[in-house]
Structure 1
Amino acid sequence: MSEHVGVLGGGRMGAGIAHSFLLAGARVSVVERDDASVDAAVARIGDSIRRSAERDPDLDPDETASRLRVGIDVGLFADANLVIEAVPEDRGLKQEALARVDAVLGEAAVLASNTSSISIDDLAATLRDPARFLGLHFFNPVPASALVEIVRGSATAPSVIEAARWWVQSLNKTPIVVRDSPGFASSRLGVMLGLEAIRMLEESVASAEDIDTAMTLGYRHPIGPLRTTDIVGLDVRLGIAEELARELGDRFAPPELLRTMVAEGRLGRKSGEGFYNWNEERS
Structure 2
Amino acid sequence: MLGAGVMGVGITALAIGRGVQVTLVDVDEERLATARKRVRHELRLAHVLGALPRHGPIGDLDLADSVDAAAGAGVVVEAITETAELKVKAQNEIAAVVAPDALRITNTSSIPVDELAGHVPRPEFLVGVHFMNPPYLIGTLEVVRGPRTGDAAMVAVRALLERLGRKAIVVNDGPGFVTSRVLHRMINDAARVVEEGRASVEDVDALMEHCIGHRTGPLKTADLIGIDNLVDSLRVLYERTGDEGCKPSGLLLRKVADGHHGRKTGRGFYEYGAL
TM range (shorter): over 0.9
Matches within 5 A, 1:85-234: 85-234=78-227
Paired with 1:51 and 1:247, the residues of 2 have a C-alpha distance of: 37
Matched, 1:31 2:28: no
Conserved 8 A contact 1:16-1:143: yes
Task: Tell me which amino acid in the other structure corresponds to 1:163.
Answer: A
**Does the 8 Å CA contact 2:189/2:245 hold for their aligned counterparts?**
no
Aligned to 2:265: 271
Structure 1 residue 51 displacement after superposition: 4.2
Q: Distance in 2 between matches of 1:92 and 1:57?
A: 39
Structure 2 letter corresponding to 1:225: P
TM-score w.r.t. the length of structure 1 is: 0.91
Q: Secondary structure at the match of 1:270?
A: helix
- What is the deviation of 1:145? 1.1
Equivalent residue in structure 2 for 1:252, among 243, 246, 263: 246
The Cα of 1:274 is off from its aligned counterpart by: 1.4
Q: Distance in 2 between matches of 1:53 and 1:235?
A: 28
Distance in 2, Cα, partners of 1:277 & 1:49: 23
User: Which deviations, in whole Å up to 9, do the C-alpha atoms of 1:10-63 show, x marking residues without a partner?
Assistant: 111001111111122221111111332221111111223344556654246xxx
Q: Where does structure 2 lack aligned partners over 5 or more consecutive residues?
A: none
Shift of 1:193: 1.0
CA RMSD between the two structures: 1.6
Q: How many residues align?
A: 271
1:228-265 residue CA offsets vs partner (Å, 9 max, x unmatched): 00111111111111111111121211111111221121
The 1:53–1:192 alpha-carbon spacing in structure 2 relative to 1, beyond 3 Å, is: closer
2:76 aligns with: 83
Structure 1 counterpart of 2:11: 17
Change (3 A) 1:207 1:52: closer
- 223-232 or 92-101: which moved more? 92-101
Q: Which residue number in structure 2 is paired with residue 237 of structure 1? A: 230
Q: Return 29-38 or 101-110, whichever deviates more.
A: 29-38
SS in 2 for 1:8: coil
Length-normalised TM-score, structure 2: 0.93
The residue that corresponds to 1:3 in the other structure is none
- Structure 2 residue identity aligned to 1:37: R
1:125-161 deviations in whole A, cap 9, x for unaligned? 2211000001011000111111211111110002211
Contact 1:52 / 1:59 at 8 angstroms: preserved in 2? no
Query: 1:58 — aligned with what?
Result: 55
Structure 1 unaligned spans of 5+: 1-6
Distance 1:183 1:53, change over 3 A: closer
